[in-house]
Amino acid sequence: MILGIGTDLANIERIAGTLDRFGDRFRNRVFTEREQAKAARRKDEAGTYAKRWAAKEACSKALGTGLAMGISWKDMSVSNLRTGQPVMELTGWAAERLAEMTPAGHKATVHVSLTDDHPWAQAFVVIEAEPVQVD
Ligand SMILES: CC(C)(COP(=O)(O)OP(=O)(O)OC[C@H]1O[C@@H](n2cnc3c(N)ncnc32)[C@H](O)[C@@H]1OP(=O)(O)O)[C@@H](O)C(=O)NCCC(=O)NCCS
């Protein structure tokens, strides 16, 4: 069953402006070390951050919380499989929220898909729950 969906569109130029203005203060507040390492290796650093920003916003919508005050952005992070497929990892409050919304006897999976076409970066997140197999 589907527990939640979320979407977000982020402007890469706006993220580039924030990076110019706040630099590491912005990077460290919003992105994990792993996300920062990926962006630093890329030619399109702002685009890489904008997709991940959109993913965090979309994920907060799928969790039904939105970006309430005091939540940690780093508790919703994106990593990539060897194939390039993005994977959303939840920790802290986000993992707790996911556990709360997952029905008993089910296991939740967070699916994420990203795209960008300058100046826009877009993310979709779908949270699915499957019954846990009992032998
Ligand atoms: C997946 C693919 C269609 C992306 O298209 P694109 O036009 O380059 O880029 P888009 O802006 O639409 O999307 C980019 C995002 O797609 C996602 N993506 C990349 N590979 C993916 C895959 N195999 N499955 C699902 N999503 C994937 C990533 O999140 C990427 O953004 P990120 O690298 O910042 O996380 C393209 O990379 C492709 O055809 N890859 C083919 C396979 C390949 O090269 N594999 C290499 C390792 S086996």
Per-residue pLDDT, averaged over 6-27, amounts to: 98
Helix, coil or strand: residue 113: strand
**Dihedral Cα 92, 94, 95, 98, nearest 10 deg:** 160
With a 6 Å cutoff on the Cβ, whether 41 touches ligand 1 is: no
What is the number of structural domains in the chain? 1
Q: How far apart are CA 128 and CA 52, in angstroms?
A: 20
Q: What's the CATH number where 82 sits? A: 3.90.470.20
CA distances in angstroms from 96 to 1, 2, 65, 71, 92, listed in the order given: 19, 18, 12, 12, 6
Q: Atom of ligand 1 at shortest distance to CA of 116?
A: 11
> pLDDT tens for residues 83-101?
999 999 999 999 999 999 9
Give percent of the chain above pLDDT 90: 91
Per-residue pLDDT, averaged over 51-59, amounts to: 97
Give percent of the chain above pLDDT 70: 97
Q: How far apart are CA 33 and CA 36, in angstroms?
A: 5
Ligand 1 centroid distance, CA of 46 (Å): 17
Q: How far apart are CA 101 and CA 82, in angstroms?
A: 30
Q: Atom of ligand 1 at shortest distance to CA of 78?
A: 35
Half-sphere exposure of 42 (CA within 13 A, CB side): 14
With a 6 Å cutoff on the Cβ, whether 84 touches ligand 1 is: yes
Domain that holds residue 96: 2-131
pTM: 0.92
> pLDDT tens for residues 88-135?
999 999 999 999 999 999 999 999 999 999 999 999 999 999 999 877
pLDDT for 133 equals 82
